[in-house]
């Protein structure tokens, strides 16, 4: 499996926490030295391990926000 690197630029919030301490977070992350994107995934308490997640561009986040506002 290919190596990759990441840097959490900013933690924007915690959506939930599991019984083993893993947290589902919304972060701004730079993957492989590329411009940061918004990312939702579960992280171990030390941020050494991560679960599967979804990465969104700024345009996609704005569209998601519009869709969520329609749920009111």
Per residue in 8-66, pLDDT tens? Answer: 999 999 999 999 999 999 999 999 999 999 999 999 999 999 999 999 999 999 999 99
pTM higher than 0.85, yes or no? yes
CATH of domain 6-69: 2.30.31.70
Every domain of the chain and the residues it spans: 6-69
Look at residues 31, 59, 54 and name the one whose alpha carbon lies nearest to residue 41: 54
pLDDT value, residue 1: 65
pLDDT value, residue 2: 73
Q: Give the CB-side neighbour count of residue 3, counting CA atoms within 13 A.
A: 2
Which residue intervals of the chain are DSSP H helices?
58-69
Residue 67 has pLDDT above 70, yes or no: yes
pLDDT value, residue 58: 96
């Amino acid at each position: 499996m290919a190596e990759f690197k990441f840097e959490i630029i900013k933690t924007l919030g915690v959506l939930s926490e599991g019984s083993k301490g893993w947290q589902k977070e919304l972060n701004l992350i730079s993957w492989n030295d590329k411009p940061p994107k918004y990312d939702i995934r579960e992280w171990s308490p030390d941020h050494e391990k991560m679960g599967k997640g979804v990465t969104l561009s700024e345009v996609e986040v704005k569209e998601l926000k519009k869709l969520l506002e329609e749920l009111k």
